[in-house]
Amino acid sequence: MADIEVGPGPLSPRDVVAVAREGAAVRLAADALVAIDRARAVVEELAAAPTPAYGISTGFGALATRHIPTEMRAQLQKSLVRSHAAGSGPEVEREVVRGLMLLRLSTLATGHTGVRRQTAQLYADLLTHQITPVVHEYGSLGCSGDLAPLAHCALALMGEGQVRDATGTLRPAAEALAEAGLTPVELEAKEGLALINGTDGMLAMLVLALADLSVLMRTADIAAAMSVEGQLATDRVFAADLQALRPHPGQAASAANLTAILKDSGVVASHRGPDCNRVQDAYSLRCSPQVHGAARDTFDHCALVAGRELASAVDNPVVLFPTDEAEGRVESNGNFHGAPVAYVLDFAAIAAADVASISERRTDRFLDKARNHGLPPFLAGDPGVDSGHMIAQYTQAAIVSELKRLAVPASVDSIPSSAMQEDHVSMGWSAARKLRRSVDGLTRVIAVEVLTGARALDLRRPLEPSPATGAVVDLLRSAGIAGPGPDRHLSPEIEATVDLVRTGAVLDAVQAVIGELR
């Protein structure tokens, strides 16, 4: 895997995924080192000046009025990191920590933070050597940056605290750095503050969630198509000219996917003639493109915000150079406030909950003999003796209910901190944490619909499913998930299908037959 180069320009979402999930190494670009050195010169000049400069020769937050003498400034930076590394609770996932570290490094590489090049380089080295600081669930209010999470990462640069090495073993940071041949940094003026003052954790989780949701939304279209097909519904409502009457791009894409997936379906063809007395299908079938499409458009907006954030340099204070010739200056600002990211994290959780909700409704229709058009109750082998997928739908329903609670916005909350200096906060980190749970829940709900749809399509034989949905049924059967029959332990089959959905295997199976979905 190629190294990811970090320079003054923005990273792509793909870069973030490569480093966070796939373990890609990173390197600082040559122009990043030039920008870092230029900003550092400004900080050192201000550090030597008699006039106090926030974050360089003063305390922080509500303590910013105290001027710190020169001989205590190194201790100031160490104390800042140590005191702010105050997280609590379970460890945050490795991919999140690597993602937030990469994004902090990206801001350092812009040349607006004033760190030294050796500090930025050590950050890159930790990523390359797969040394991951231990970060805890609680500690960020999403304002003044993700302070506690980033402070735990900065602590590792100092050779303090706990880390996970490349094997996942928990070790003291000093020991892991020494084994990798890395030397901890002695933080100097401004550096501690620059390492912790960013919205990198919430942004990393947003980027990772959007990568997952890109796969899930196309898989949701596949699941919906299996339900439309298995429940003898019509595909005519997905026609492009009908969708054009309401020109939302996500709706058009979803409807086009449904049409393509259902093409050449023997099941659909079996009831398309003049004898069909079905006038209108239920909303959960007929309106799938409208709901899936609205979610897609929501996630596109989230991606727009994420792209702007990836192009940002979030720190306070920042080093500015108005023109190439002008002398640099350091200015305080409020760009660390997480509101832009927090809002879309909450927005995404709302859309994820609704996509899960309509998926559960489609699944439920399969199981009700009054609504499933000739299929056995609960798709059971011997109804009464067997329960079929009855409780699989219970599992879906429990998850959907949880997703509705997770859709309650975190960003509308605020709690003051730092003696009322930081009196309005975004709670963006909390919004990001619950979105991760929402994405996991949506994955599981879609998986149950896929599992149930495959069983129903088998029960429709000798009618043949479409080549695309048939490929999904074949995938499940090749993964050891058996077709209809007597009741068996269902949980392993659900988990196996969850893995096939999460990894993109269901999507890949369809795209291998009909080409790339929109």
pLDDT tens column, 143-169:
878 999 999 999 999 999 999 999 999
- For residues 27 and 155, membership in a common domain is answered with yes
pLDDT tens, 431-449? 999 999 999 999 999 999 9
11 near 104, Cβ under 8 Å? no
Helix (H) or strand (E) holding 15: helix 13-20
Assess whether 82 and 212 both reside in one domain.
Answer: no
Query: Same domain, yes or no, for 170 and 280?
Result: no
Q: State the pLDDT at residue 325.
A: 63
Residue 215 belongs to domain with CATH number: 1.20.200.10
pLDDT at 390 over 70: yes
Region for residue 20 given its phi and psi (left: phi exceeds 0; alpha: psi -120 to 50; beta: otherwise): alpha
Q: What single-letter amino acid sits at 480?
A: G
Count how many domains the chain has: 2
Indicate whether 337 and 443 sit together in one domain. yes
Enter the tokens of residue 103. Answer: 């994004």
Q: Which pLDDT belongs to residue 274?
A: 65
Q: What pLDDT band is residue 75 in, cutting at 50, 70 and 90?
A: confident
Sign for the pseudo-dihedral over CA of 150, 152, 153, 154: positive
Lowest mean pLDDT across 267-281, 430-444, 463-477: 267-281
- Enumerate the β-bridge partners of residue 5: 27
Specify the higher pLDDT residue, 50 or 499.
499
Percent pLDDT > 70 in the chain is: 97
Q: Which of 178, 198, 218 is the last residue of a domain?
A: 198
CA-closest candidate to residue 46, choices 222, 254, 188: 188
Q: Report the pLDDT value the prediction gives residue 410, as an integer from 0 to 100.
A: 95
Least confident residue range of 114-123, 263-272, 409-418? 409-418
Q: Residue 276 — very low, low, confident or very high, per pLDDT cuts 50/70/90?
A: low
Q: Stretch 200-215: mean pLDDT, rounded?
A: 98
Cα 67 from Cα 289, distance rounded (Å): 60
Which token pair is 282? 């239920």
Active site residues: 54
Single-letter residue type at 360:
E
Rounded CA separation 78/80 (Å): 5
Q: Which helix (H) or strand (E) holds 331?
A: strand 329-331
Would you state the pLDDT for residue 416?
A: 85
**Dihedral of the CA atoms 78, 79, 81, 85 (nearest 10)?**
140
Instruction: Answer whether 228's CB lies under 8 Å from 282's CB.
Output: no
- Decide which of 155, 171, 198 is a domain's last residue: 198
508 and 363 in a single domain? The answer is: yes
Please check the confidence at residue 52 and state whether its pLDDT lies above 90: no
**What pLDDT was estimated at residue 60?**
67
- The verdict on 223 and 117 lying in the same domain is no
Report residue 420's pLDDT band, with 50, 70 and 90 as the boundaries.
confident
Q: Are residues 414 and 298 in the same domain?
A: yes
Mean pLDDT of 421-434: 91
Q: What tokens appear for 33 in the block?
A: 């080192």
Question: Are 248 and 129 members of one domain?
Answer: no
Q: How many whole angstroms separate alpha carbon 514 and alpha carbon 239? A: 18
In this structure, the answer to whether residues 193 and 84 fall within a common structural domain is yes
Q: What are phi and psi of 170, to 5 degrees?
A: -80, 125
Beta strands 88-91 and 4-6 are: unpaired
Average pLDDT of span 495-503: 98
What per-residue confidence (pLDDT) applies to 62? 62
Q: What is the pLDDT of residue 56?
A: 79
Q: Reduced to 3 states, what is the DSSP secondary structure of residue 183?
A: coil
239 and 376 share one domain: yes
What is the average pLDDT across 297-309? 98
**Residue closest to 350 by CA, chosen among 470, 428, 466, 434:** 434
* pLDDT > 90: percent of the chain: 84
277 pLDDT above the threshold of 70: no
Give every CB contact of residue 511 below 8 A, 6+ residues apart in sequence: 517
**What average pLDDT does the structure give for the chain?**
94
Average of per-residue pLDDT across 362-369: 97
3-class state of residue 133 by DSSP: strand
The residue range of the domain holding 92 is 4-198
Q: Are residues 184 and 152 in the same domain?
A: yes
Q: CATH no. for residue 164?
A: 1.10.275.10
- 218 and 336, same domain (yes or no): yes
